[in-house]
Structure 1
Amino acid sequence: MEATWDATAAWRMDDTSLWHACDQAQKIRQSAYVRLVEMVAELWNRTGRSKEDRVSMVAQVQTQLRVSKKDALQIVAHAQLFGREAVRDAARAGELDADRLTVLDQTLAQAPVLDRDEVEAELINNTHLPLHHFRLAAKRILVLLDQDGPEPRDDPARPKREFHYNNRPDGSVAFRGTIDSESGAMLAALISPLAKPKADDTRTTPQRQGDAFADMIELAAGSENLPDEGGERPHLAITMHIRDFLQGLRGGEFEDGEPVDAETGRRIACDSKAFRMVLEENSAPINIGRSSRTVPIPMRRALIVRDKGCAFPGCHRRPRQCHAHHVIHWADGGPTRLDNLVLACSMHHRMIHHTRWTVEIVDGLPVFTPPGELRPGHRSGRPNSRLGV
């Protein structure tokens, strides 16, 4: 029976009616899928149900229904599940949709044969759960069935971990990869607090997560536990002409040859470990100075006591996630003193250097001033900076 649809009806409905119509359409969609799987299950039962029959059935479903091979494999797998009466009844009752049937199929395939009926019953009892929690319930069941984990092996398989990255023409880096579930859970736990939106945050979720990932790289680079390479701890080397650095005229380059603009170089130099190397005109080194930290540890501790974290209004990044920014840049003669320093997270440190936001120390506390067109005449200081809380 062919359904009829009034294409002009939707615009006449209010929001409540539209959502009700969506709910009805979703139920029809789910019911139609169950009906489809039931028909394929009957076709499957008419075969010898061998491995070859399954390959043939997948090909027929793909051809007859004009679906992808992935969808055909799913439909046939679900049709085979309909040989289990409890599964069939739950699907007909609307308790098992396509996603939950897939979870059930994968879980039964991993469960010991003698336990499959019990696993099936337990999962069907939990079909009311949201899909994510339904998947977690399935994983917990498998863990409970195998408390000892897989048998020890003489050549244990390594977790599947891959990381690929390449430099783009503009100097940015593109990457992709895969990590195991345990490492993935740790990654999520690290990124989540770093990617929380800040006050008046206009970044998208991917942008916030990208900034969080960059913060993690900075935190890792500052760790005392990283291994040396070539006799040195991991570091970032930038080459700039001293005149360009002091005057902010032209940029320089990282040690791999990638260009860097002058202001980025000055920002990185704000709170870093730096050394001086004097080069002749032909770039031959003629003098190398001692390495020194621009902001000594005792002064950074005093800065933490004053600012308690990123001093930008509404930002709550912790001190270990912040840089020490020179209000008057030390390249311009600014002193490395408490009254010329302010803690800023990477996002707000970048903002100070690369936009027209400014910061100054007033009565011993940092005060940020936005560009005139944003808030004409308005200056904003950290709300709690004067309260000492």
Structure 2
Amino acid sequence: MTETALHPITGVAARLHEDLDDGFDAGLLTLGPIETGAALVELERAANRLAALQSRLLAHATEVRVEDETGAPSTAAWFANAAQVTRAEAHRRVRTAVAVSERYDALVAACVSGEVSPGQAEVVVRALDDLDDGPPESVDPEVLADAERALVGFAAEHDARGLRVLGRRILDIVAPAIGEAREAELLAKEEREAAAGVRLTMREDGHGCVHGKFSVPEMHGAMLTKMLDAIASPRRDHLRDHPAADAADAADAADAADVRPVWQRRGQAFVELIERMRDADLPDAAGAGATVVVTMQLDTFTGGLAAASLDTGHRLSPGEARRLACGADLVPAVLGTKSEVLDLGRSARFHNKPQRIALILRDGGCTAEGCDAPPQRCEAHHDDPWSRGGRTSVARGRLLCWRHHRVAHDPTYLAESLGTGKLRFTRRI
């Protein structure tokens, strides 16, 4: 009885494992930096070639219906189970493999040689498919072939992200006459879909925090990012008065000193952005503005520990309520012992624009000791609380950053005037 000869690809897989075993067994002590770098590049190219061979096999698997052996619903479903990859990953890889093998010969050759990585190949396929199927109609096959060759050539100098950008504008390079019209149609389509897909969901977790998800058009996402980064940036305004080199060094030092992760900096900036939004900038809702009303007992307003409440039904700590009453666009409703309204916050409670400008010119930023927050990240604070007869004036006001303004109204901290215009905060024992 004769044995069935194994296919050469099966032998390739077996030899690969043997060669890899040799590589893992080899010591690295004699491998210098230059040879290490060369080996890394060669291994990356070999990995690309191996991925191309696997992609070819995946396309073949769809033809021979490898899933029929186990009753799986599709080749991708079979591969996900057999190779222990996610279904989304399996479907993506099978889809790319079929597209490359059926339509894009130049891309196949580049993948086989190892010049194009799997990630780059996927981007090229998506860009070419968008040209073939997108608005206003499919492009000429010759133009599509030119676009394929151009993107494959760009892969030598651009990673997958760079290729994605080039893929969106590839017609401007290979067919300028139709590139502008095509891009205009594509952008209009994307903008319509983005506008239709706008979403914002929020939910309370019952522990004082609200979680949310949103989807907005790309332009509005860019606008929000700029707003948040402007608030979150640790760089100071007075750096522009330094020589260029010194300013750059100081700015880099300020960035390095802020060890908060980007997601935290932007999250805190988002909170500050919401607090900066004034009622006058918002439309009326059912005849009433969007101002939030915080209700508190007189004892809380003058420094007590009783919690306050918002007109939305939410509760606030006394320190947070006093901080917001000091400067945010929020109306504090102060109640007496019989719950009668003793005081409703008036516009005179808040520093007006000329007063704030004077504070900026005098203080230059946060007046807490050791803090260098610039004026645009600060709020106007009353040295003498309004509730105790304090007046809204420049002489008895100061700038405090968002964080130190919270500390100033936190009863666990003691504020000490240093006589230099600065405040020193110390946690009470």
Q: Give the TM-score normalised by the residue count of structure 1.
A: 0.77
User: Within 1, Cα distance between the matches of 2:167 and 2:323?
Assistant: 49
User: Within 2, Cα distance between the matches of 1:193 and 1:85?
Assistant: 48
User: Within 2, Cα distance between the matches of 1:147 and 1:103?
Assistant: 17
Deviations 1:94-140 (A, max 9, x none): 33222222211211111034232222122222212233322222223
Query: What is the match of residue 269 of structure 2?
Result: 212
Larger fraction in helix: 2
- On the 8 A contact 2:291/2:331 being kept in 1, the answer is no
In the TM superposition, residue 163 of structure 1 has moved relative to its aligned partner by 0.3
Instruction: Select which of 287, 292, 300 maps to 2:347.
Output: 292
- On the 8 A contact 1:197/1:208 being kept in 2, the answer is no
SS at 2:374 equivalent: coil
Deviation larger for 351-360 or 202-211: 351-360
Instruction: Select which of 37, 43, 48 maps to 1:30.
Output: 48
Instruction: Select which of 352, 364, 382 maps to 1:326.
Output: 382
Summarize the alignment of residues 1-389 of structure 1 with structure 2, pairs less than 5 Å apart.
1=15, 2=17, 3-4=20-21, 6=24, 26-44=44-62, 56-80=74-98, 81-83=100-102, 84-111=104-131, 112-114=138-140, 115-127=143-155, 128-141=157-170, 144=180, 146-149=182-185, 158-197=195-234, 199=254, 200-219=257-276, 221-222=277-278, 224-272=280-328, 277=333, 279=335, 283=339, 285=340, 289=344, 291-297=346-352, 298-312=354-368, 313=370, 315-319=372-376, 321-354=377-410, 356=413, 358=415, 360=417, 362=419, 366-369=421-424, 371=426
User: What runs of 5+ residues in structure 2 fail to find an aligned partner?
Assistant: 1-14, 66-72, 132-137, 172-178, 236-253
SS at 1:177 equivalent: strand
User: Within 2, Cα distance between the matches of 1:173 and 1:360?
Assistant: 36
User: Within 2, Cα distance between the matches of 1:7 and 1:207?
Assistant: 44
Distance 1:45 1:177, change over 3 A: same
In the TM superposition, residue 217 of structure 1 has moved relative to its aligned partner by 1.4
Q: Give the TM-score normalised by the residue count of structure 2.
A: 0.71
SS at 2:359 equivalent: helix
SS at 1:247 equivalent: coil
Tell me which amino acid in the other structure corresponds to 2:92: Q
- On the 8 A contact 1:274/1:292 being kept in 2, the answer is no
User: Within 2, Cα distance between the matches of 1:201 and 1:37?
Assistant: 45
Identity of matched residues, %: 23
In the TM superposition, residue 74 of structure 1 has moved relative to its aligned partner by 2.0
In the TM superposition, residue 314 of structure 1 has moved relative to its aligned partner by 5.5
User: Within 1, Cα distance between the matches of 2:426 and 2:27?
Assistant: 49
Distance 1:148 1:69, change over 3 A: same
SS at 1:224 equivalent: helix
Tell me which amino acid in the other structure corresponds to 1:122: A
- On the 8 A contact 1:327/1:359 being kept in 2, the answer is no
Distance 1:247 1:287, change over 3 A: closer
Q: CA RMSD in A?
A: 3.7
User: Within 2, Cα distance between the matches of 1:334 and 1:258?
Assistant: 28
Deviations 1:262-293 (A, max 9, x none): 1111111222456565657664x566657333
User: What runs of 5+ residues in structure 1 fail to find an aligned partner?
Assistant: 48-54, 374-389
In the TM superposition, residue 63 of structure 1 has moved relative to its aligned partner by 4.5
